[in-house]
Amino acid sequence: MTEDTALPEPLLNRRYRLDEVVGQGGMAVVWRAEDTLLGRMVAIKVLRDQFASDPEFLSRFRTEARTAAALNDPGVVSVYDVGEDKGVHFLVMEYVPGQDLKQVIRAEAPLDPGRTVRIATALARAVGQAHAIGMVHRDIKPQNVLVTPDGRMKVADFGIARAVASAGMTAPGVVMGTVHYLAPEQASGQTATFASDVYSLGVVMYEMLTGRVPFTAESGVGVALKIINETPVPVDHVNPRVPTALSNIVARAMAREPAARYPTATALAEALEGYLRWSDQHTVPNFRGVDPRRPAAAPPPASEPGSEAHPGPAVPQTAVGPLFDSTGLMLGFVALVALAMLIPLWSVVADRLGAAPVRGPEAGPSGVGTVATGTPTEPPATLVLVPDVSRLTADDAKRRLEAEGLGVTTEDVPDATVEVGRVIRHIPAAGETVPAGTVVNLLVSAEGITVVPDAAGDYQTVADAITRAGLVPGSPRYQWGGTPGQVIQLAPGPGQRMPYGATVEITVGSGSRLAMGVDFDDNVFLSAVDLDRAVFTAGETVTLVPHWEAVGPIAGEYGARAVLRAADGIVISQDENPALGGDGRSTTAWAAGESLAGQPLDLPIPPSTPAGSYSLWVDVFRIGNPGERLPVRGGGAARVADNQAEVLAIEIKTADAPVP
């Protein structure tokens, strides 16, 4: 064993028994261990010495790990505990037996499009939960996706990449994000956003569908330069079995400009779910389809920078089976006999009407159809394979189609994801076999303006209205006040004119629940505070209910205190509870991961209090020593001063002043 993989202690923190190393990375060593207190298997990530010796990093690491612990999604690896024992800093996580997605890709790629979409949807939904609370993963890659024995996917390492980036770690051998999965803005040193995670998810889909990453080079720097400057070969050009519609979703997720991508992972998941619904409705047999038993075409060589690849047309994914089975032959024979019997009847009807006899497709000179092959009255039409002209300029696409003997019409369609004047898609699609002279309709990207709708209701109702208007709904941003779950603001507001495809930010009311996310020492975490309003009259009482979590075992006994202060710091009112939780139990009896509401804290406002703005603060103190405030390690959404967290600035009116 190396120094980093040597067993730190037989029983870490007097609780976790380390059994064996199951993985290693540039930042930590991962052990399979047993939680002897709860009797369950866990995974423990032990930081390497270069990180464990950096106080700034450790502070960030603890804060981000505890934020990650707030993620409650079956698609995310749960974080149970974070701690330190004799200089060994560690993170305790859910143990997921099995393998990671990278191993699955190496063994089985290219994966079936349907399977890929199901996996990618689950991953995007899980990452979307993090985006909803403002967390960016920053290092999405197949190695960070664990596959359970029953085939479920779980995303790991939320918050850890952020801790490294925030602490400015530049130790040798430490690279933020695996370079092949970085978004262009990350590769160029800019800040990662939700759209950066979307790009990385797109790369993971690309690799699942093709068996290769979009860009390769002799060095990581070479890969980064390609990511910044080049557009990958479309998925359906690498693997013709991938439907064009799915290839387009991957292409949008991997757009070089963040604004052209899906704004969040949740938006990507919704696009994939829409694709699944569409594909379920288009599974009828198509004789131009690909036999799924045929091996996939070998991937074309990657184009050199500056050169333009011209791959062959993509063949759409279709339903399956031999072209002529016994059922098909029988149905075809019945249809042919029926046709032969009907043609004489059609001739009689035509004669009665004074018209010439109707000739069938194989009719002889008498106009009567026969089963035997005869000389057709007209030569058979020449068939043409529609080339892929998407993303070409309208003029280039027209020349390409006309050279194949096809007609062309164009239709302008507003689309913010495709450069103006270039083809978004065309009908018939690439790979379709059509008669020569068929007119192909080109849908060409055009500038367009739409209006933000005047929509109200819950988030999904408003988001649907925004989508119908040709705009992109942003992920919900929660704000204290209003009716819980109801939209209280759009930005830009209703009636504003915006380009098609622009994003509208949506603010949703959280009611009386005010998110806090304050990380106190000794595993005490203030997740939220209930406060029914922000305007009071002198003589009333301010009542707040804190909500607490034990992100790990709590060693001390603590109580909570609320203080109302004037702008000059003078205490107007104060209340404290000797027990942190509402059930009266000592904090030493709380189980790791337990969440519970605290006892209400009541702050009477003296009737003589002048009108004005006052600040409401909460702190945690050690029982028996109320003057000792528990240190705050991370403020979350709150402002922190002197180990106190500010809940809200409230307004106090005099008794004769109207209260809004």
So which residues are the catalytic ones? 139
CA neighbours within 13 Å on the CB side: how many for 255? 18
Query: Measured on CA atoms in the order 202, 205, 209, 213, is the torsion positive or negative?
Result: positive
- d(CA 171, CA 393) in angstroms, rounded, equals 47
**Of 42, 32, 280, 58, the residue nearest 164 (C-alpha):** 58
Contact 184, 190 (CB under 8 A): no
DSSP, residue by residue, 37-84: TTTEEEEEEEEPHHHHT-HHHHHHHHHHHHHHHT---TTBPPEEEEEE
Alpha-carbon span 51 to 169, nearest angstrom: 8
Instruction: Tell me the residue ranges of DSSP E strands in 7-53.
Output: 11-12, 16-24, 28-35, 40-47
| Number of C-beta neighbours around residue 161 at 10 A | 20
| Cα(260)–Cα(248) distance, integer angstroms | 12
CA distance 217 to 197: 22
DSSP labels, 547-563: EEEESS---S-EEEEEE
For residue 41, the cross-strand partners are: 34
Q: Residue 166 burial (CB < 10 Å; 0-12/13-18/19+)?
A: middle
- Dihedral sign for Cα 132, 133, 135, 137, please: negative
Structural element, H or E, at residue 425:
strand 423-427
Tell me how far apart the alpha carbons of residues 592 and 80 are, in angstroms, rounded to a whole number: 7
Residue 126 CA to its chain's centroid (Å): 7
- Sequence length of the chain is 660
Q: Who contacts 2 (Cβ-Cβ below 8 Å, separation ≥6)?
A: none
User: CB-hemisphere CA count at 13 Å for 356?
Assistant: 5
Cα angle: 313, vertex 316, 319; to 5 degrees: 150
